[in-house]
Amino acid sequence: MSDIEKGVSGWKIGWSSDLGYAAVDSEVLKVCEESAKVFELLGANVDEVDLGIEDPFHTFFDIFATGTYASYGDLLDQHGDDLTHYVRSTLEYASTLRASDFSRALLEQDRLKRRMETFFDDYDLLLTPTMAVTAFHIDDRPSIISGKEVHEFWGYLPFTYPINISGQTAASVPCGFSQSGMPIGLHIVGPFGSESKVLRASRAFEQAAPWDKNRPLIT
């Protein structure tokens, strides 16, 4: 971490507003787009990029649900009525999956990993919004974002699960607030094992766009 203060001058950074498939709230998008431009002021070359991937949600969810069922599947019979709708529906979905479904998901995961490796052969970092919307009440998950129907449980975080299942390194850095005072995050992504690079970029952004003196209103 000795180089954390060295900045990002000369780095090649990709910016994607939607990864090619995500619905994003317009206010979140505007704040994150302006934040991506900060890296240009810091001396980096920032390009708008198309990763050429399709939404890997089903790949992610089949792997996630299978793992969840392996650990907690017995709760369906023992305490099914005590589970939240989210947990119960995940376990019920996982119980319908076949070995071939899980195998297919693993193959798709490998393809996504290779695509991300290829991207990072050309770029130091990838920037996206962290979430598609600002925070919401736990009982009021968004089902429509910017006029597009999204998954009731996962539609608000289309940028994080592709990074998780492909094994990349990432940080979320506060980059602004909505008009209602809710915080918005910038997703800074690097290749596998690039923690020092991601933290270095996060530090550079934090210094250029300090946020720690701002606090959302508490009501």
Which residues have C-beta within 8 Å of that of residue 161, sequence separation ≥ 6? Answer: 56, 57, 60, 64, 154
List the beta bridge partners of residue 13.
46, 125
Closest CA to 70 of 39, 45, 102: 102
Angle, vertex CA 72, rays to CA 67 and CA 102, nearest 5: 25
Residue 45, in any domain of the structure: yes
Q: What CATH number has the domain bearing residue 39?
A: 3.90.1300.10
Query: Judging by DSSP bridges, how do beta strands 169-177 and 12-15 pair with one another?
Result: unpaired
Number of domains in the chain: 1
**pLDDT single digits (tens) 43-72:** 999 999 999 999 999 999 999 999 999 999
Q: Please, which pLDDT band fits residue 138 given cuts at 50, 70 and 90?
A: confident
**pLDDT single digits (tens) 74-87:** 998 889 888 888 89
Domain range for residue 161? 12-55+114-208
Report pTM. 0.92
Residue 75, in any domain of the structure: no
> Which two three-digit tokens encode residue 219?
């009501």
Which residues have C-beta within 8 Å of that of residue 71, sequence separation ≥ 6? Answer: none
